[in-house]
């Protein structure tokens, strides 16, 4: 009997496919390629070619109206600010029918995926719709009067976001103020960003410039159809199977699939009959009969339910835990109403099969005062989150390319990251961002676009937010990489901490907070996407915050939720200053980009440490003062007498400090993943540093410079985020050595070797090893404690002509398996401060470059040095990445790999590689100053 059923199903599918092949589909015409014109209502003499998708700044620059150079050159953000304070119009003739379709009975409309931001959309001067939200998808019907005759003139009249936001703020202030009014003056930004639903950072932030742009920033189209048009698919995939707690490639459970199909119906007098054809790769082919009834709602929704038998689909895993198996899900509507033309509409999305949970159970059910977990489980496997935060990669959205997005996300995974947080002051990223994350296994923590402000809760504002959230959930929820939603960045902490003077009326602002983020944002999100994790704020105490009215007494509790941690006044290289939190979702230290990157946006007059540009591009209040203080704690401040040389060395030293501080901080968090401290702190489950990328060249917390060049930090993050890690630290005279294993498999028979080394010799002073039977899976543990004097004999082995000092020696560590292969990156531990180290000037040279693969543009770079060198940093004009950088060179020769990202040659590389070491940053008298300081310290003691 089963064979007969299969035959009937196959026959019916073939018949449907024949119908689909012969039917007419909805008619969609892109508006991107129309002959757009950009004009200014305030300056009628400006009329230039426009672009869709695009923006005013880019179109004016391309047309030669903005003549002072690139948008981000020097202080052009101020020079070009007039653009943001002017109203602009995009217009084009709209051809409604190319003659190939009979659209006499069709519903015809315009669909905009994104308009930035406040606009009136008009045909032949008659407004057919308005917009006020950059993040909302808009649809406007075309009136009957415009469907015939000459092509109508389509105009999108854009209002200055700066002027509009100020007016909204003033209107709100008649009731009560919603702060903050303005960004700090160091941002060189604009005011009232929280009153307009637009990229908040476009009004200025402490890591980027203000470019409050306007434009049709995402694609637009003309849509014509006679029955029903599928706008969105919202698949929900769940499984009742008990998942194992370790990855198992053979585990392929059954799944329950529920697909919500969102349709826009033509104007109908009677119900519409038809069928839905569902296809999941070659695994599922199913048909569903349906009757669509006109609704008062903008979109009709049909839910299609089916099951997928076990053994048919493979699980999707985060990077490092398994494969990223993806499946194409296709839904086709086929109209069967006899009185209407046979019409089809198709929508496709890519899905992955996985479960995601946020475990907030009590760490000790017997003693609930110790707090709750805050850990992510994917497919029932606990994933220690190793990642970073993402900010907009360009000052205006149209400047970013899918190629650049792809490169940055691949670089995150190359540095052993498994999650990226899309920060709430930017934009919901382009489709290419999430598609790339799906393929790479990079989990996405998705903030809604609210950051560092109070926000209004007027009926108009809340209505706009509902549409925004609805747009983005429908667009993004099918992505396997999307792990959780969070409604805002730091607004719980801002409200409780009285950042903006709200304490006097705390109850009012708390009520607004709950209205916006809980009653509105969370409600809409969970109605559409109930299976995915939703957190109200970051940082937050999670469930504890909810129990305290969604605004905790202490949103930075280390026993609950996540924290953001920044402290620039204490020693960033000291592990003791860092909290033992459940999760740390933001933390970081600033640095400046390399000279090669800074030179692209500055001129020679700017290339001094104290130049106006160095002040102008430092948007963080007191940022340079804090950064310089941190540098002086550990390193010699450049003072050669040559301003250009000192400038280059200063940029390098900021990256040294940042890389080392972030290494110490991250490893401290990772060591605490398995430890519950007295009082309940510890059991850290994630570390997401601030920030991965840059929006322009300037002082920031990024690990990748604007344009894609890796900072020293990104090379270090490749090591400190290694799934298996050796992590040593010094506490008084004790060396503590930890091993961390984030993988689900133990590492057996490991030899951990420690070598004591001197800055004055390539020879190891002593070698000690420890045999480990295994490194436990998903665990961090201390395996070795040594005393520097008793066990390592530092007093005897590291004695110099002044006195015995930890400053003259350092330690290297390796971990190898039984076959002698490394199981973790080699690492080093400085026993004293570099500015006290007995370093000799090191001359590191490139002695040869040899092509390994001309096809993959991979090269071996041979290096030699005449002295031990700290923080050896290689730079080249050729785009690409070295296998390691910022390293300690303790042997006279070594080889690194370079992977070029454009065609090059060995000769070009040899000539372009520039090398900086720590001793290059001090003049010849530095060593004598160091010895003099030692002598004074010794005699004072």
Which residues does the annotation mark as catalytic?
490, 586
Residue 891: Cβ-neighbour burial (10 angstroms; 0-12, 13-18, 19+): middle
Q: Are 874 and 818 contacting, i.e. CB atoms less than 8 angstroms apart? A: no
Q: Which two tokens stand for residue 664?
A: 């110490």
User: d(Cα 721, Cα 419) in Å, to the nearest integer?
Assistant: 12
Rounded CA gap, 759 and 49, in Å? 62
In this structure, what are the phi and psi dihedrals at residue 935, rounded to the nearest 5 degrees? -60, -45
Helix (H, G, I), strand (E, B) or coil at 57: helix
Distance of CA 270 to the CA centre of its chain: 48
**Beta carbons of 136 and 464 less than 8 angstroms apart:** yes
Count CA within 13 A, CB hemisphere, residue 883: 11
Q: Cα separation of 414 and 402, whole Å?
A: 18
Angle 653-655-656 from CA coordinates, rounded to 5°: 65
217, two tokens: 């920033």
Q: Contact, 416 vs 386, CB < 8 A?
A: yes
d(CA 74, CA 62): 18
Q: How many CB atoms lie within 10 A of CB 330?
A: 16
- Which residues are registered as beta bridge partners of 158? 88, 119
Helices 402-414 and 431-440, axial angle in degrees (round to 10): 30
> Which residue has tokens 């009082």?
679
Q: What does the alpha-carbon distance between residue 347 and residue 479 come to, in Å, rounded to a whole number?
A: 15
Q: Which two tokens stand for residue 833?
A: 């401060």
Rounded-to-integer distance, Cα 358 and Cα 542, Å: 10
For residue 861, the SS3 value is: strand
Measured CA to CA in angstroms, residue 57 lies from 77, 82, 130 at distances of 10, 10, 22
Pair type for strands 385-390 and 686-689: parallel
């Amino acid at each position: 009997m089963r064979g007969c059923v299969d035959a009937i199903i196959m026959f019916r599918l073939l018949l449907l496919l024949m119908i689909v092949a012969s039917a007419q589909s909805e008619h969609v015409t892109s508006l991107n390629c129309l002959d757009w014109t950009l004009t200014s209502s305030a300056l009628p003499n400006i009329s230039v070619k426009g672009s869709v998708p695009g923006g005013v700044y880019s179109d004016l620059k391309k047309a030669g109206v903005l003549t002072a150079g690139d948008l981000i050159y020097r202080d052009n953000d101020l020079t070009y600010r007039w653009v943001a304070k002017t109203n602009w119009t995009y217009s084009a003739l709209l051809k409604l029918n190319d003659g190939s379709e009979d659209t006499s009975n069709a519903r015809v409309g315009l669909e905009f995926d994104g308009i930035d931001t406040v606009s009136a959309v008009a045909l032949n001067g008659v407004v057919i719709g308005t917009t006020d939200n950059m993040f909302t998808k808009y649809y406007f019907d075309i009136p009957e009067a415009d469907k015939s005759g000459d092509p109508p003139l389509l105009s999108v009249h854009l209002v200055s976001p700066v002027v509009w936001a100020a007016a909204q703020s003033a209107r709100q202030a008649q009731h009560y103020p919603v702060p903050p009014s303005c960004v700090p003056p160091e941002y060189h930004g604009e005011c009232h960003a929280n009153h307009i639903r637009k990229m908040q950072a476009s009004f200025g932030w402490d890591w980027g410039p203000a470019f409050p742009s306007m434009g049709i920033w995402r694609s637009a189209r003309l849509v014509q159809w006679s029955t029903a048009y599928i706008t969105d698919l919202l698949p929900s995939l769940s499984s009742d199977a008990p998942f194992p707690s370790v990855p198992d490639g053979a585990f392929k459970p059954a799944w329950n699939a529920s697909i919500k199909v969102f349709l826009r119906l033509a104007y109908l007098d009677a119900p519409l009959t038809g069928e839905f054809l569902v296809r999941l790769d070659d695994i599922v082919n199913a048909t569903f009969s349906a009757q669509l009834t006109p609704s008062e709602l903008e979109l009709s929704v049909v839910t299609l339910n089916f099951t997928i038998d076990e053994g048919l689909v493979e699980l999707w895993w985060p990077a490092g835990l398994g494969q990223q198996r993806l499946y194409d899900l296709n839904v086709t509507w086929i109209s069967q109403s006899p009185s209407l033309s046979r019409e089809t509409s198709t929508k496709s999305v890519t899905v992955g099969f996985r479960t995601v949970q946020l475990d907030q159970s009590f760490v000790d059910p017997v003693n609930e005062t110790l707090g709750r977990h805050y850990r992510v489980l994917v497919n029932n496997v606990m994933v220690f989150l190793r990642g970073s935060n993402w900010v907009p990669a360009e000052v205006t959205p149209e400047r970013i390319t899918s190629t650049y997005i792809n490169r940055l996300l691949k670089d995150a995974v190359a540095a052993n990251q498994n999650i990226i947080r899309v920060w709430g002051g930017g934009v919901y990223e382009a489709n290419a961002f999430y598609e790339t994350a799906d393929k790479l296994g990079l989990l996405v923590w998705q903030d809604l676009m609210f950051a560092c402000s109070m926000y209004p809760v007027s009926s108009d504002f809340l209505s706009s937010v509902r549409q925004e959230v609805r747009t983005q959930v429908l667009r993004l929820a099918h992505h396997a990489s999307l792990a959780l939603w969070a409604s805002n960045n730091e607004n719980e902490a801002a409200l409780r901490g009285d950042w903006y003077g709200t304490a006097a009326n705390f109850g009012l602002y708390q009520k607004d907070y709950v209205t916006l983020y809980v009653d509105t944002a969370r409600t809409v999100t969970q109605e559409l996407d109930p299976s995915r994790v939703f957190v109200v704020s970051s940082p937050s105490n999670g469930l504890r915050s909810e129990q305290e009215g969604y605004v905790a007494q202490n949103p930075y509790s280390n026993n609950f939720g996540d924290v953001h941690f920044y402290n620039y006044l204490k020693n960033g290289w000291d592990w003791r200053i860092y909290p033992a939190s459940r999760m740390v979702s933001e933390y970081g230290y600033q640095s400046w980009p390399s000279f090669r990157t800074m030179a692209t946006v500055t001129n020679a007059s700017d290339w001094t440490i104290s130049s106006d540009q160095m002040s102008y591009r430092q948007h963080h209040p007191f940022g340079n003062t804090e950064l310089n203080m941190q540098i002086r704690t550990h390193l010699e401040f450049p003072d050669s007498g040559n301003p250009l040389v000192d400038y280059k060395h200063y940029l390098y030293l900021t990256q040294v400090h940042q890389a080392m501080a972030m290494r110490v901080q991250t490893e401290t968090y990772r060591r605490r993943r398995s430890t519950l401290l007295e009082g309940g702190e510890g059991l850290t489950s994630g570390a997401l540093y601030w920030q991965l990328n840059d929006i322009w060249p300037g002082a920031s917390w990024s690990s990748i410079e604007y344009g894609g060049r890796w900072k020293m930090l990104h090379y270090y993050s490749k090591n400190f985020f290694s799934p298996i890690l050796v992590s040593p630290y010094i506490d008084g005279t004790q060396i503590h050595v930890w091993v961390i294993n984030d993988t689900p498999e133990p590492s057996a028979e490991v030899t951990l070797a420690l070598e004591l080394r001197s800055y004055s010799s390539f020879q190891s002073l002593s070698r000690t090893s420890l045999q480990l039977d295994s490194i436990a899976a998903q665990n961090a543990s201390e395996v070795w404690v040594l005393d520097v004097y008793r066990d390592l004999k530092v007093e005897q082995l590291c004695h110099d002509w002044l006195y015995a000092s930890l400053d003259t020696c350092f330690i290297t560590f390796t971990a190898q398996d039984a076959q002698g292969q490394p199981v973790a990156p080699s690492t080093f531990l400085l026993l004293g401060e570099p500015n006290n180290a007995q370093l000799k000037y090191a001359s590191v040279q490139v002695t040869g470059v040899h092509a390994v693969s001309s096809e993959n543009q991979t090269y071996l770079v041979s290096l030699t040095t005449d002295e031990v060198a700290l923080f050896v940093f290689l730079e080249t004009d050729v785009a690409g990445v070295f296998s390691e950088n910022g390293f300690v060179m303790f042997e006279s020769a070594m080889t690194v790999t370079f992977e070029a990202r454009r065609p090059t040659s060995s000769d070009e590389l040899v000539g372009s590689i520039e090398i900086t070491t720590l001793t290059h940053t001090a003049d010849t008298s530095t060593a004598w100053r160091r010895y003099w300081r030692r002598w004074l310290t010794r005699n004072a003691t």
